[in-house]
């Protein structure tokens, strides 16, 4: 420790940034609010900011890359829709699990980073030059966008939307703002980052060696906090760790047939009564209609595939049903070229109608599933028939399917 004085008390031996002379000041009564704050705490330095910042930067980079994967799997541009890969089957589970895990870790990292730099947010005078003003503005955008992104992501995984805008579009747009402002920030700070990147700070920017021990403790504490957050949430995706899944909103085992449910049949306005007259309509060059018994009479395929929700939880299950490829071929569609539009019996909702590109339609594991772990689907899991396809976001695994259109 460098000092025995109680923390928080200003250091008398250290010259403060204030230029006021001791004693009563004549200007005091005129502009009392314009006194610069004085921060005497330690570790609010560029080396700490660099050490935390590189982890935060890495977390945001992973979040951005996996976020792009998720976004384009869910909302592909027309030229890409038919070529989205259906393999590996666990692809979306892995990438979205990583997205949520790094996003949660980034909350801890961002808090430590903001703690490390907050005295700089009060620098005096607030603006020294045009360049300085622009630099501060870019930091303001970065902080606001990063806080916004982590907060909206966190609230999305608990399905709470206390805002009037569409989560998906705005979370996606602000991700570009965060990424752009991080790149700008790294460019502006490049000399300082370079000086503090190695084991010892280089050049004239060297900091007191005594602080190194405390800085290491801070980073260890940060690592421990990230470890605890990760361990208590990642079990929602990484099933072997499910016993530690205490904080994630979903537990892999909790739900009918041992599988969580996001939208229940009741919420979707689907009732057992409405299903009495259920038929599967297949539109295409040779349209046809099937009863449930007719569908059950077709060639049955089983597939072990995960449901991987955009909110981060994923559960593998044993699905049984009819290949979408077979249904499409029977309607006159050409496998490998035909895409499909799927419509649910759901009354309203963003996921009532779903489109599936040719690559998924052609995959032998893409099913119109009728069973889950050998049992008929429960109503909440999409009875009588639902889509299950490899490497796709959960939101596109449409439940209560009653119509397929070959496109």
Ligand X SMILES: Nc1nc2c(c(=O)[nH]1)N[C@H]1C(S)=C(S)[C@@H](COP(=O)(O)O)O[C@H]1N2
Positions touching Mo ion (CB under 5 A) are 262, 309, 394-395
What are the backbone dihedrals phi and psi of residue 371, each rounded to the nearest 5 degrees, phi first? -130, 155
Q: Which is nearer to ligand X, 83 or 159 (CB)?
A: 159
Token representation of residue 125: 């005078």
Residue 259 site contact among Mo ion, ligand X, none (CB < 5 to 8 Å, cut-off depends on kind): ligand X
Q: By CB under 6 A, tell whether 338 contacts ligand X.
A: no
Q: By CB under 6 A, tell whether 381 contacts ligand X.
A: yes
Q: Is 248 exposed, middle or buried (0-12, 13-18, 19+ CB in 10 A)?
A: buried
- Minimal distance, residue 401 CB to ligand X, in Å: 8
Q: Which is nearer to Mo ion, 228 or 266 (CB)?
A: 266
Q: Which is nearer to ligand X, 259 or 331 (CB)?
A: 259
- Minimal distance, residue 331 CB to Mo ion, in Å: 28
Give the range of 14-22, 106-114, 194-202, 392-400 binding ligand X by CB under 6 A.
392-400
Contact 280, 404 (CB under 8 A): yes
> How far is residue 353's CA from residue 341's CA, in Å, rounded to a whole number?
7
- Minimal distance, residue 319 CB to ligand X, in Å: 10
> How far is residue 328's CA from residue 60's CA, in Å, rounded to a whole number?
41
Q: Which long-range contacts (CB under 8 A, 24 or more apart) does 157-165 make?
A: 157/100, 157/248, 157/249, 157/311, 157/312, 158/249, 159/249, 159/262, 159/311
DSSP state of 405: E
Q: By CB under 6 A, tell whether 59 contacts ligand X.
A: no
Token representation of residue 382: 């999409």
Q: By CB under 6 A, tell whether 384 contacts ligand X.
A: no
Q: By CB under 6 A, tell whether 248 contacts ligand X.
A: no
Residue 268 site contact among Mo ion, ligand X, none (CB < 5 to 8 Å, cut-off depends on kind): ligand X
Q: Provide the binding-site residues for ligand X, judged by CB under 6 A.
A: 259-263, 268, 307, 309, 344, 346, 349, 351-352, 381-382, 394-395, 397-400
């Amino acid at each position: 420790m460098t000092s025995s004085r109680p923390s928080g008390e200003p250091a008398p031996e250290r010259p403060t940034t204030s230029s006021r002379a001791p004693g009563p000041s004549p200007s005091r009564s005129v502009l009392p609010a314009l006194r610069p704050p004085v921060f005497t705490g330690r570790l609010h330095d560029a080396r700490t900011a660099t050490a935390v910042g590189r982890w935060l930067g890495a977390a945001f980079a992973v979040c951005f890359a996996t976020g792009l994967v998720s976004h384009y799997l869910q909302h592909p541009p027309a030229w890409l829709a038919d070529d989205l890969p259906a393999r590996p089957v666990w692809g979306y589970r892995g990438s979205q699990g990583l997205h949520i895990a790094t996003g949660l870790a980034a909350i801890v990292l961002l808090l430590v980073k903001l703690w490390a730099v907050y005295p700089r947010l009060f620098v005096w005078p607030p603006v020294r030059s045009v360049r300085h003003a622009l630099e501060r503005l870019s930091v303001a955008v970065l902080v606001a966008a990063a806080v916004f992104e982590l907060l909206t992501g966190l609230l999305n995984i608990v399905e709470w939307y206390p805002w009037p805008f569409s989560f998906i579009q705005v979370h996606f747009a602000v991700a570009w703002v965060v990424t752009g402002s991080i790149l700008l920030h790294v460019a502006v700070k490049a000399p300082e980052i370079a000086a503090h990147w190695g084991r010892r700070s280089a050049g004239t920017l060297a900091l007191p060696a005594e602080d190194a021990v405390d800085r290491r403790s801070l980073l260890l504490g940060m690592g421990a906090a990230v470890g605890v957050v990760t361990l208590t949430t990642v079990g929602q995706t990484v099933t072997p760790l499910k016993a530690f899944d205490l904080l994630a909103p979903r537990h892999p085992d909790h739900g009918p047939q041992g599988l969580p449910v996001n939208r229940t049949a009741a919420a979707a306005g689907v009732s057992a009564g409405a299903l009495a007259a259920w038929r599967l309509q297949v539109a295409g060059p040779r349209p046809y209609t099937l009863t449930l018994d007719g569908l059950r009479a077709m060639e049955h395929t089983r597939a072990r595939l995960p449901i991987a929700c955009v909110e981060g939880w994923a559960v593998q299950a044993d699905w049984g049903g009819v290949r979408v490829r077979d249904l499409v071929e029977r309607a006159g569609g050409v496998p490998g070229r035909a895409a499909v539009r799927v419509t649910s019996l759901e009354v309203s909702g963003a996921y009532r109608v779903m489109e599936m590109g040719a690559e998924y339609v052609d995959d032998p594991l893409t099913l119109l599933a009728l069973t889950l772990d050998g049992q008929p689907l429960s109503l909440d899991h999409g009875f009588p028939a639902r889509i299950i396809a490899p490497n796709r976001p959960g939101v596109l695994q449409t439940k209560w399917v009653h119509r397929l259109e070959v496109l």
